[in-house]
Structure 1
């Protein structure tokens, strides 16, 4: 739930829709890997430029090694997304990564490559498919895994959870992914292919409008792989009319990304948009814009769909064809004929998306705009998740902590508390994901994915556990208010240590902002930190 408290006549509560919840999870899963996506995309763009200029051969060892660096994140996408998405959902990120890795493990990929027939799992027929670079299967698989994980934490004895929970999860989820989640996408994609073939036989303009509008979203779901073989088959018969239609979609994304770059005042978003434009324009890799902007801001979806539909309809109506398979970009323009008509369709998409983004913005009353209102005028508090205070005491800013890891927010944003009582309680419902051997610090991941680090005192690791008593173990499931650690304030101070305790959100980059809920004195269980998305 997203809670909005505004003075005067503004409603106090705004319920989050199912779609917002889904998009929040998806964007939260992609947020930690946007940086490596951007870097990898720029490598692909650089290689495309070098090959086009004739400075590097696509058959050289240099190209192969740099291509591996640029494409690794995309090929192993299920692994990375499995890790981040599971963490976002409060489950074990490494188990999520292992689920994704199972789809790329040689024993399975050899089956796919061999095109083996009559493959089964315990007598159940298996539909083999290549899941590299896919999103949809791992999204479903990890979501189901997170639900299973929460159930297992309730029924498995705590001391056994560390290895029993991953064991059961992998045995159940990996076969389900291969048997159900993955093939589901294959069936849906096949059905879409049939629909597209039918539409293309009826009207080029109508097909172009549908393809241009839908392609970005089919890509997000990983359903585009079932349609690409149609492109390749059409090339063998003299030219493909579908690829110019879908080319309008990535050009619409480029236009939208350019509009966001010019319109936003948020430095991080401007950097993200800028880094996404180069690989999108030169190499046709739009993942940064797609997952960094499109899935986060609903208005951009409408803009991209509308601009893509218009450009796709133009290319369809003018009979533009692709002469070779290539990702749509400025460097691949010569692949499409007639070039002039192709440019009319794709550049129309780009310009419409750019103009609409500049005119109507990339979001309505978005969390970003509302958060700015909070900061500038103090009118509202916008909360995606609330972290309660784990301690009673006096709130102090992190800048007053002598440890630069906390004072510079290198670990994450948050606040610190000068405790008056030597008890740390759980600020959320979640799981103890880290417990230092010295028991002076503890990390908890909430059910909604917030990662909270509570470090009692400064440099108290040097006490080697003296004066600290943990009441929980790593991987324990805890509820709000559960006692986590007891510590002896007076004895710690007597040893010359500062007991100011940082409470920080270590996955700060997954949120719009991390803001204090109050200042001054605080009691355990009071609202302490609000996370904005």
Structure 2
């Protein structure tokens, strides 16, 4: 897979760099916070090769990639210049209610940590397996060193959360990390041994609490810090902000955290933990059935990470039932993939099902199963839900709990207790889902009819399409354009034109699919199927529409040679911007041949490109 090309396409279809407020990634999906979700093209994103699905939830625009998400994220980071402070403080046009905002902050704060948490959890699972089989002694130095590596992120969780929450809320992440670190500072921890349960600050009583591995105190403290930071920025002179903002934040927030935020956070965590354990003890079967059956749908909507703080707080108290219950959904999903793999005679589908099994079994990443199989064959969702309900119910009945945070998989089995109870419950979830798939099948008549219709409608003969030049000027190879997204062919193949006059005409007969508000870019889908992007100049979006005017709008039907956009070549150059204009066929992969008909110069409405579709 060409990650650079995919990253460029995703960047373009979410509305471009100027529409991205922030972007992070979790185990399987890119999580964008956009200034305006309406500028993103959900349908085009879902049709990209390498994108499993797109979910818009809790204010986030989530692009599901699968296990290769980190590679795509790196390419987006290298191609997109996002100013953290600017983008996080610019008001967004999204209307998000308070519940959605809370889930957005929780999700955005934990997403960067999920890989580290899961990796540390898997290390703890490996240590548990090695000690259970007497391969490694708990008294050895090797065990102690590896245990320290596995425990570190959980013990110092307030520091990591201080960084990620501050980043999410647009405050200084290092100051946030310092606030989290004060909860674990050795002198403060030492007060627990010297003073007992209470000390004072300026005569105000301070209840001493061990904040290691805690979640809610950091959330409360850093949220207040972010609000305070915004207020202080308005009243403190810029030249003094570098040291005044951190100093005042520490002086104000740290004591307040010790006096109020910390104890309140611990009380909230204990109350939630007590309630969850009460439900588990009194109605374990019902709780397990609900979570086991519903977890798949929470994952599809991308809000499953909202449970992470509750899981971590339960683990800090000795054991968590939530992970044990929702694991049933994961193994039910794996069961579906296994059932499809055995049932289908279609080689491509068998390969797809087989390729999704290993990520699920070894790492607990099942989004490829959900979006590649379950959503394609709707019966699969029913089988997964049934398997999750039964497996979760059995897990609740037998009382299985997790002792460490890790994604549910066969490698993380040792972290659950009682081990046999957990294994039985997960086998039931897997077997029910796989069995239903094998016995009842996974394709319905509607799906089969759609697939047959698609095959019948596929063209079998070559089809040529000519693209006229939208501009007059000097023709250049695309690799000479001073923008890596275009020069690398990340958006597709094409050519560039250095225009001699500022008039753009339509290169095809078709429909205008996109006109940027700044008029510097326009997309047209031709009647023959070509998707043409005309991007006037490099970084000219920064002109905010100055020196541009449009004769058309999105949704208009256009004909070859029709006047589209005017721009002032001289004034754009005087403003310091290049006017070289890439003309890109964004769906190049649909064509078996791409013929460049150019000479060194071209006039508007002359033949520029010829495409051959199979």
Larger RCO: 1 or 2 (CA < 8 Å, sep 6+) = 1
TM-score (norm 2): 0.43
